[in-house]
């Protein structure tokens, strides 16, 4: 089977290149060379490379881009070295870890987890708007906003429940209850309709400390939006915190956003890198979600999977950042001494 792999892969490459050539997307032999070369040198299946290049552009140089298999390889390494994905994915556990290390993060009002609840009394005493979110993952999907009203709460879709009914409705769920946060004044000038979410991707090597290698911010403009995930997706220059690319909005809004310098940029970088180094050092790379509030940046959550395709579409290949040096260092043989302390790194935000 192993001996026949190059032949099978060549056949797959020919089929994929032929299909794309018939669609008018590429010269057959040029595409075949890229597909087969990627399979041999980086173990990227031809079909996956073809699909990925649709997002990044047919002329993209594969050597510069982080691919799904690359990230999975880093995640597998993390697990081998003792990283616990639940520390990052479970929002309640994430908050506890952050508190332990004195990191500013969104507080927890209550947690409901497989029939066990924590914080019922605090929830009964709560008199401000709150969010109910899935305890793990889901990118904001299914989040509910509840506002206090006459001894209970009313949801964003108009359901009114007494406090007992509200708590009973949460018990079967695996969810976390957190206070509603608001954007700082600088972001509110864009008339956002929900809390914006700043994503900082950090990577760390064995001697290279955590460094921001990519950044984006999601801004909500829809009247019914509860999070920024479905709104404008903005790529950020990690050197200065300036928006340099925008997707998902009209030209007028894009023109307003491009060139905007995010407030608290230095503090955001220090917070995300510090959290990675201090509290989540077993992970090679993480995607941090931060809120920019009137009191400064606070951590919302961190993500093992952080949508590398979207980041590379917005601000370019990660192979052209310090991330490439970090990966080389992580994969270098033990004792190789490939990157001494004074090794000059590519520009990065730190």
pLDDT band per the 50, 70, 90 thresholds, residue 35: confident
- pLDDT tens sequence across 2-34: 445 566 666 666 776 677 666 555 577 777 777
pLDDT of residue 43: 62
Nearest residue to 238 via CA among 316, 339, 185:
316
Q: DSSP letters of 284-303?
A: SEEEEEEEEETTEEEEEEEE
pLDDT, average across residues 210-239: 89
User: Which residue, among 234, 240, 205, has the nearest Cα to 322 in the 3D structure?
Assistant: 205
Q: What are phi and psi of 299, to 5 degrees?
A: -80, 135
Per-residue tokens: 319 = 């192979």
Q: Which regions of 195-239 does DSSP assign to beta strands (E)? A: 197-203, 211-219, 232-237
The residue behind tokens 């594969």 is 62
State the Cα–Cα distance between residues 24 and 6, nearest whole angstrom: 27
pLDDT band for position 57 (50/70/90)?
Answer: low
Q: Rounded mean pLDDT of 343-348?
A: 42
**Residue 108, number of CB atoms within 10 A of its CB:** 19
Place of tokens 């990052």: 88
pTM, rounded to two decimals: 0.83
**What percent of the chain is predicted at pLDDT more than 90?**
58
Average pLDDT, the chain: 85
Q: Where are the alpha helices (DSSP H) in the chain?
A: 5-22, 28-42, 46-56, 68-80, 85-89, 91-100, 120-124, 163-170, 185-188, 251-257, 265-279, 308-315, 323-331
pLDDT band at 241 (very low <50, low <70, confident <90, very high): very high
Q: For the segment 163-202, what is each residue's pLDDT rounded down to a tens digit?
A: 999 999 999 999 999 999 999 999 999 998 899 999 999 9
């Amino acid at each position: 089977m192993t001996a026949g792999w190059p032949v099978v892969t060549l056949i797959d490459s020919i089929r994929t290149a032929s299909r794309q050539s018939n669609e008018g997307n590429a010269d057959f032999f040029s595409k075949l060379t890229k597909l087969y070369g990627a399979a041999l040198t980086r173990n990227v299946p031809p079909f996956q490379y073809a699909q990925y290049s649709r997002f990044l552009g047919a002329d993209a140089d594969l050597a510069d881009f982080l691919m799904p298999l690359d990230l999975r390889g880093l995640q597998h390494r993390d697990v081998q070295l003792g990283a616990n994905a639940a520390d990052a994915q479970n929002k309640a556990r994430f908050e506890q870890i952050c508190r332990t290390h004195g990191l500013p993060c969104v507080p927890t009002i209550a947690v409901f987890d497989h029939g066990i609840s924590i914080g019922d009394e605090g929830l009964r005493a709560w008199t401000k708007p709150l969010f109910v979110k899935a305890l793990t993952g889901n990118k904001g999907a299914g989040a509910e906003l509840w506002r206090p009203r006459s001894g209970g709460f009313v949801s964003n879709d108009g359901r009114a429940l007494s406090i007992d009914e509200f708590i009973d409705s949460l018990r079967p769920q695996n969810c976390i209850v957190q206070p509603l946060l608001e954007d700082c004044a600088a972001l509110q000038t864009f008339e956002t309709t929900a809390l914006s979410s700043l994503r900082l991707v950090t990577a760390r090597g064995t001697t290279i400390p955590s460094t921001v290698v990519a950044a984006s911010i999601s801004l909500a403009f829809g009247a019914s939006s509860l999070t920024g995930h479905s709104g404008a997706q903005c790529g950020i220059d990690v050197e200065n915190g300036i928006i340099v690319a925008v997707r998902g909005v009209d030209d007028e809004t894009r023109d307003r956003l491009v060139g905007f310098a995010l407030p608290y940029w230095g503090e955001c970088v220090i917070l995300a890198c510090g959290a990675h180094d201090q509290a989540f050092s077993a992970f090679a790379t993480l995607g941090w979600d931060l809120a920019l509030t009137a009191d400064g940046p606070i951590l919302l959550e961190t993500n093992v999977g952080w949508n590398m395709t979207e980041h590379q579409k917005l601000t370019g290949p990660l192979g052209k950042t310090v991330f490439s040096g970090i990966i080389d260092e992580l994969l270098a043989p033990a004792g190789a001494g490939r990157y001494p302390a004074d090794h000059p790194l590519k520009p990065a935000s730190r």
